[in-house]
Chain A
Amino acid sequence: MAIPVTYNLRNLVVRKTTTLMTALGIALTVAVLLAMMALLAGLRATLSASGDPLQIVVMRKGSESELVSNFTRTQFQDLKFKVGIARARNGDPMASLEVVTVINLPSLDAPDGNNVTLRGLSPIGVEMRPGLKISAGRWFETGKRQVVVGKSIAQRYPGAALGKRLTFGRGDWDVVGVMDAGQTAQNSEIFADLNQVSSDLQREDVLSSALVRATDTVTAAALVKSINDDQRLNMNAVSEKEYYALQTVSARPIEFLGVFVSIIMAIGSSFAAMNTMYAAVARRAREIGTLRVLGFSRGSILFSFFLESVLLAGLGGVLGCLLAFFALNGKATGIGSTTFSELAFAFRVTPQIMLAGILFATILGAVGGLFPARMAARKEILVALREV
């Protein structure tokens, strides 16, 4: 017969200071783990929202990122007329030659400056990204030193707000608009006119990459294959979705650190939980004896104390989730990406993550509670009753 759960709950309430302190310790451990997971979830959400399944990023063979890629105008002319590329309303192929570089801007977090992606593109490139909406100001004009900045850039870099001027290349560039790219990575980019950027950076002929749009999903896969197999082009094509998905590797160092920190903290917390449970067992020796006299088996004593430890840790887990949720959810942050520039996104404390946090806490409690529970179960009735 099992000992009622209310027995455990009431015991936890009676020792509320100890319960709360142990639970808070576990809560902090869980919160650290959740912070790391929320960071990754935010990054993944941004990257998976970025990219259109119909669109293909074309880079030089061997390049894995637009930043290190090279693309000449002649190559672009060869690419543009490949079979399977969709046509714009005016009949032009939907292919955009782009130049990608990074510029250094001082931000709120980093006064010394962070790298930000600058993308030079032609009107067709803007047209191919229908998800982009101008939220303030207007688009840049071709042939002028004007830029449109992503929403996150406008927020995080005071020098890049609407109406400000940025200095790079051969002169000052006016910030004429702010674009809202929904949840996507383009919020962390600056857009400007292709020819103006390339001439300012002395890259008139050698640009970075191309974006092409296929007519439908089946053609998209075929187009990727045909570009990759084309010996004359010598290009590396990946679907835009896949290109962004690959960038999750930029979170590896943080993922590694987060796991490392959580594990060490978990060891510390499970010892603390063990301590609390040992104290509980020691103080309730007579109670344990009484329970045995009443006919509860060793097994149910073991289970009861084990359950109490799990409940205690579970409480910690819930507190940790609340802490992480209220402190972090939706908070904007940025990390360095494989494109050598900052990618901004928001922490996302999702229900799945919170569930994982609570699970982590209960495992921690289970580890901490096992030995004290075994000790409680092994007590001899007479000895237990005699203890003070």
Chain B
Amino acid sequence: MFRYLPLIVKNCWRNRRRTTLTIVSIGVSMCLLGVLIAVYHALYLSDATPDQAMRVVTRNRISLTVPIPLFYRDRIRQVPGVKEIMSSQWFNGVYKDARDPKNFFARFGVDPPDKLFTIYGELKIPEDQKQAFIRDRTGTVIGRDLANKFNFHLGDRITLIGDIYPGTLELTVRGIFDSPRQSEMLYFNWAYVREGLSESRKGEVGTFDILCDDAGVVPRVANAIDDGFRNSPVETRTETEQAFLRSFVGMLGNVKLFLISICAAVMFTILLVSGNTMAMSVRERVREVGVLKTLGFTGGNILFIILGEACAISIAGGAIGFLLSTFLTGGVKKSPAGMFLPPIQRFDPSVASACILVALGIGLISSFIPAWNASRTTIVEALRSTD
């Protein structure tokens, strides 16, 4: 079969402009498809990272915005399999001017602060900065991305005006951490805010971030925590960190359906582009097919050559598209959405093979009808063609 390879390559290159335009057209569309597949893969198909797999998040069963009692922390710590626990509270607040979305970044109050880097083992920070943060009640640690965005340095002051919580926070940057994910984030010691709260609100927190002994015990721990508070005034919902983050993406709308329908539209467009090219290219060559047949090529050979040509073009487009998409995927990772997405790898073998397979499939389907017709044309008919 492979002896026809040179012929296939020659055929591809006979109308250079058309082949180039088709490859570019398929490549651009496949690039989009590559990004969508990568996001879909990261969201719904990928496994949690080893760090994530060991963490669960406990929140109020009613919703994330309804707080849970702080004293639950001590009860959860008793659950077998729980290694570390820390309360975490979304502070919201206003930095400079809330109307400008550029000033938005994540602000979390954590308690106790020394557990932050134990639970989130993937956050890297120099030891002295970590100690400085733990010692300073008004200290804060910020992500590298946030530091770069506002040009924050160690010792800088960040002022946050409370909205959900009263008061104005005067925080001092004590450390800058590196994260594998997008890190426009700020963590501070919740004790600083708690001082100024009314008695009833002092005993409330948003969520508990929990580190388990190992990934295997996670489902058991999650059930044990929720069972422990069943039928109590405040029931909890404990889920893996991956599921917790995914629920944020779900808040945007039906993301799964959105991704699938765009993927389908893009694939169908590529199919049309490729099908059209192959139909045009075969139509021009009917006489040539007749000549090949006279030389002794069978219908099967012709079918193979034409299918092969279509596949070669669409796979070339697919490969270019995938390479382009790796750049865009890097951009998605850095975007604000990256905070909720699981880490997306730039080069993911399964995404790459999905792209190539799609390209192969499109090549085959799009060229089947013209190839089939050409392979069945009789010699006389083909040679007589004036097209």
- Chain A contact residues, CB within 8 Å of chain B: 17-18, 21-22, 24-25, 28-29, 31-32, 60, 62-64, 67-70, 101-104, 109-110, 112-115, 168-170, 201-202, 206, 249, 252-254, 261, 264-265, 267-269, 271-272, 274-276, 278-279, 333-336, 340, 342
Contacts and interface: CB of A to CB of B under 8 A. Distances in A.
A62 to B, nearest CB: 4
Contacts of A264: 28-29, 31-32
Contacts of B92: 68
B276 A18 contact: yes
A342 B252 CA distance: 8
A333 B275 CA distance: 34
Contacts of A17: 279
B279 A28 contact: no
Given A170-B233, A335-B252, A342-B251, A68 B163 contact: yes
B11 interface: no
Contacts of B280: 18, 275-276, 279
Contacts of A269: 25, 269, 273
A17 B366 CA distance: 13
Contacts of A261: 32, 262, 266
B106 to A, nearest CB: 14
Contact of A69 (B21, B163, B200, B272): B163
A271 B21 contact: yes
Given A25-B269, A25-B273, A169-B62, 12 more contacts: A64-B98, A68-B92, A70-B166, A102-B63, A268-B25, A268-B28, A268-B29, A271-B22, A272-B25, A272-B269, A272-B272, A279-B280
B164 A68 contact: yes
B17 A104 contact: no
Nearest to A21: B276
B163 A334 contact: no
Given A254-B252, A278-B17, A268 B94 contact: no
Contacts of B61: 104
Interface in B337-356: 337
B294 interface: no
26 contacts: A28-B269, A31-B265, A62-B98, A62-B163, A68-B92, A102-B63, A110-B250, A113-B247, A115-B63, A201-B66, A252-B101, A254-B253, A261-B32, A265-B269, A268-B25, A268-B26, A268-B28, A272-B22, A272-B25, A272-B269, A272-B272, A278-B17, A278-B21, A336-B251, A336-B253, A340-B65
A261 to B, nearest CB: 6
Interface in B17-40: 17-18, 21-22, 24-26, 28-29, 31-32
Contact of A271 (B28, B63, B198): B28
Interface of B: 17-18, 21-22, 24-26, 28-29, 31-32, 61-66, 92-94, 98-99, 101, 161-164, 166, 198, 200-201, 233, 237, 243, 247, 250-254, 257, 262, 265-266, 268-270, 272-273, 275-277, 279-280, 337
Contact of B21 (A170, A265, A275, A335): A275
A60 B269 contact: no
B32 A265 contact: yes
A254 B63 CA distance: 24
Contacts of B254: 109-110, 333-334
Given A268-B273, A272-B273, A62 B25 contact: no
B316 to A, nearest CB: 14
B29 A279 contact: no
Nearest to A388: B386
Given A68-B164, A249-B101, A21 B29 contact: no
Q: When A and B form their complex, which 7 residue pairs have the shortest distance between CB atoms, in order from nearest?
A: A336-B251, A271-B25, A268-B29, A335-B253, A25-B272, A62-B163, A272-B273
B69 to A, nearest CB: 10
Contacts of B25: 267-269, 271-272, 275
Given A21-B279, A62-B162, A68-B164, A109 B252 contact: no
A268 B163 contact: no
A274 B65 contact: no
A25 B29 CA distance: 11
A276 B276 contact: yes
Contacts of A63: 163-164
Given A21-B275, A60-B163, A102 B257 contact: no
Contact of A333 (B26, B163, B253, B266): B253
A252 B335 CA distance: 13
A279 B273 contact: no
A269 B22 CA distance: 10
Contacts of A32: 262, 265
A36 B237 CA distance: 34
A385 B270 CA distance: 35
B19 to A, nearest CB: 10
Contacts of B250: 110, 112, 114
A279 B18 contact: yes
Contacts of A274: 21
A339 B92 CA distance: 13
A169 B161 CA distance: 30
Of the listed residues B26, B243, B280, the one surrounded by the most CB atoms of chain A closer than 10 A to its CB is B280
B163 A28 contact: no
A113 B162 CA distance: 29
A102 B247 CA distance: 14
B63 A101 contact: yes
B251 A272 contact: no
B272 A22 contact: yes
A380 B92 CA distance: 70
Nearest to A266: B28
Contacts of B279: 17-18, 21
A252 B336 CA distance: 12
Contacts of B32: 261, 264-265, 268
Contacts of B272: 21-22, 24-25, 28, 272
